[in-house]
A and B are shown apart, each in its own frame.
Chain A
Amino acid sequence: MRCVGLTAGRSRGSGGGDSPIPAVTDSEAGTTGTAPSLRRSPGRRPIPDLLFFGLVTLGAVVLLVLIFSIVIILASQSELSFRTYGLGYLVGTRWIVPTSASPFQVYGAVPFIVGTLLTSGIALLLGLPLALGSAIFVATQAPNFLRGTLGTAVELLAAIPSVVYGFWGIYVVVPLMRTTVDPALKQYLGWTGAFGGPVTGDGVLTSGIILAIMIVPTISAVSRETLFAVPASQREAALSLGATSWETTRIASLPYARIGIFGAIVLGLGRALGETMAVTMTIGNRDAIPTSLLSQGQTISSLIANELTSNSGPLQYSAVVEAGLILLLISLLVNVAARLLLWRVSGGRRVVLAQ
């Protein structure tokens, strides 16, 4: 879509006290019937406008080319694996590399898809309440002096490199899981069957917990901004009707901010799905389907980190690349699903407003 508007420089130059005129897009101009004098015919555009148009178009085009070239490279490099296994790769549960003992090799993606979904699922399950709680606290409940401090602290968490989380995982979380958390889970929740197997400290659950901590700042910071954006009049209206703090948050803040919060969750999930370093350091890197939440596994990202350059032959290489393609696909599906959900959520709101 072309964006045709008055340049900021022009509007600022023409009138000293004028408020900046917002840019008007084609579609908006068309639907709202804005005076056509606002639109410039392309032939008479001033140079700065053309320059601006060229630059932003270039940015968009480069981005598209990048995405397509990544997909094409992944697809072409994984061709061998695709030709060998076809769709069987997607349901294959074994990952066996050739060695001097046996040249037999077979590659299936299920262990890594399961590992990826499990760790990200755990991360979201544990991280979301924490992130939302802290965001709501900072945005609506915190006294002013705490607001800035807490906000900065959360943003600081987001700035820590993932390898540092990995080290912290090895030195703090893994020992804690091994000595305290895992045995307790086994003892009290062992009957569920989800916490079987030997207690080692690392594994799917440990990685999920570290991922949860890693995605909290992302979700919290974005949700908080959205909650800040809720007009004060909304909350005041609810309060004036005698609503409690919780009720105000529930009926005034959250519905207004839910689209932004949803976007925050998708961002956080994206980070969890693609996280490599911290997961590689704590998940145990076993090429097998995890038998319980305490057992070792491998995510698609950690598989790529461990085995892309491991030189076990062209088929193994192309199978690893195909795993990358699947990760891209999963991310795409998550995005599409989120958009659909968002669309339904916002659609729902429109219905409410129409009453």
Chain B
Amino acid sequence: MSTPAPTSPPSDAIVRQKSRTGVYVAVAIVIVLVLVVAGFSAGWFKGSSPGGGSPGVCQPPSGTYIEGAGSSLVFPLMYQWETVYGGGTAVNYASVGSSSGITDISAKTVAYGASDAPLDAAQRQTATGLLTIPESAGGVVPIYNLPGVGALDFNGTVLANIYLGTITQWNDPALVALNPKASLPDQPIQVVWRSDGSGTSFIWTSYLSLESPTWAQNVGKGTEVNWPVGTGQAKNAGVSAYVGETPYTIGYVDLNYALTDAIQYGSVENPSGTFVLANVTNTATALTDAHLTLPTAGGDWYNVSALNSPGSGDYPITSLTYVLVYQNLSGAYGSSMGMTDAQGLVDFLYWAVTTGQSYSTQLFYVPLPAYIVTADEASIGSITYNGASVPNSCGASV
């Protein structure tokens, strides 16, 4: 072919009719965006979401906006709280994972953080003046997907060996010994863990470290560890979705996720030799029986653990989960934390550890025992703003 190609752009390109429509759409989007931004800045959306109001006795200041972020373990409960908490205070909690929660509160980009893992020494140095306030507790359960196989029993050693990669088949003798009646398939175990920094991982690896010296020496505990085998998924919801969808997998999530997503989870042997299938009751007794020695709110909580509680019916993988908040709230949330906001935050925290606990059971979280609530009230009472204390406006405890 010797047809010379024109050197200039073609003049007979097809002209699109759409262009005019595109302009209208773009203009409409811009208008909507402007309205939304204006709405947010003018406070149109604040305080309109919580309906009904809380049954508590607090009279918190209206029109405050509290932003929190962190633990995905506690997210369903936090979400319930922000929905029912009234008084014109809007609470907005982002389920970004415990590690991100610690990062965010350290950077003061949120008013409060939430983490299932307590601050370690380095983190306490980075963010001085943070209070650790337990606001709920939960059980972490081993979830699995084995078509046609019912309830399974596990113990710490077997779980550690599965996560170490030394038990690789579902019909491994160790698993068969624990579950003589189950027809375990001759299939490889696919291990699933949290790929993001996770308080749930911290609880899980802490338990495996307690149960298996090999695990403690080679992998250890942490929000992020060097997993010997398996696949990573983000957040509790990610692990739960992946295991729910994929046969022959095993993972770990908070009890709430296993129950609401209707995923099979196994019983775990406790120190008394009983195989316990986690529920709200036996995680609650575990927390009571643990008789935790609580540090002061500003102290070192790293070694506080309710794992392997001594009661004969206690679920062994039970742990507190914490709210992290600055003791001195002036300048604690960028520069935007005013006295009213501080009051709103204190009231919300107080409400959460008292009245808010009544929402725990229905969501499969553990209501805090009285001795922890008392400690929490003292911790929240120690919060200050500009040197003055910020008493909650809820009156006496409920």
Which A positions have Cβ atoms within 8 angstroms of B? 96-102, 170-171, 174-175, 178, 198, 200-202, 228-234, 237-238, 241, 243, 251-252, 255-256, 280-281, 284-287, 296, 305-307, 309-313, 349, 353
Contacts and interface: CB of A to CB of B under 8 A. Distances in A.
Given A101-B216, A228-B13, A296 B1 contact: no
Interface string B362-398: 0000000000000000000000000000000000000
B232 A306 contact: yes
Given A101-B218, A255-B5, A306-B196, A178 B246 contact: yes
B197 A198 contact: no
Contacts of B99: 309-311
Contact of A238 (B1, B100, B242): B1
Nearest to B231: A284
A252 B223 CA distance: 59
Contact of A170 (B9, B12, B245): B245
13 contacts: A99-B219, A99-B226, A101-B225, A170-B242, A229-B13, A231-B12, A231-B13, A252-B3, A285-B195, A306-B234, A310-B223, A311-B224, A312-B224
B220 to A, nearest CB: 3
A102 to B, nearest CB: 7
B159 interface: no
> Chain B: interface residue count, which band?
35 or more
Nearest to A229: B13
B253 to A, nearest CB: 15
Given A229-B10, A229-B13, A309-B100, A353 B5 contact: yes
A340 to B, nearest CB: 22
Contacts of B238: 281
Contacts of B218: 101
A100 B103 contact: no
Given A201-B246, A281-B234, A96 B196 contact: no
Q: Which of A233, A286, A296, A353 has the most CB of B within 10 A?
A: A286
A307 B5 contact: no
Contacts of A100: 209, 216, 220-222
A246 to B, nearest CB: 14
A281 B246 CA distance: 13
Given A252-B3, A280-B195, A307-B196, A171 B245 contact: yes
B245 A97 contact: no
B86 interface: no
